[in-house]
Amino acid sequence: MSEIPNLSHVDDSGNVRMVDVGAKPLSRRRAVATGKVSMDSATTAALRELPKGDALATAQVAGIMAAKRTSDLIPLCHPLPLSKIDVELRVDGGFVHIVATVETTAQTGVEMEALTAVSVAALTVYDMAKAIDKTMEICEISLVEKTKQPL
């Protein structure tokens, strides 16, 4: 089998594995991810009064819950003791902008938790508004900040 360079979740034989972070020191870690849902401007005006309820509040809670469950969704992610999860949704024109900030003190980062929070928040907005807008698109989900501070 050819060597696969720089893939931390693949061993020398090409098998998937959970990375051993046991020897790494604890550090304060933070990750920020963003994304957006594009939609008709009439849909953005109706987000708080949809038949299923307030889409923004529901999506915020869904994003928080998703960050907490990331290791259940992404097979090789470590379960982490999250100390902060903040999911913000802002309507601007024909978009719902989503920002998730996740923090922990642990041996590995929280990028996947921030990205999962944004993704699930966006999916929740989509689910709640799909009956009135068939043009919605989830787009531009990305990690925009990752920090690590030694203790």
Residues annotated catalytic, as ranges: 127
- Please check whether residue 67 is in contact with residue 59, taking contact to mean a CB–CB distance below 8 angstroms: no
> How far, CA to CA in Å, does 135 sit from each of 27, 37, 94, 123?
43, 10, 11, 14
- Nearest residue to 134 (alpha-carbon basis) of 40, 33, 17, 14: 40
Indicate the burial class of 107 (C-beta count within 10 angstroms; 0-12, 13-18, 19 or more): middle
- Please check whether residue 77 is in contact with residue 21, taking contact to mean a CB–CB distance below 8 angstroms: no
Sequence-separated (6 or more) residues with CB below 8 Å from residue 45:
none
- Alpha-carbon distance of 26 to 123, in angstroms, equals 33
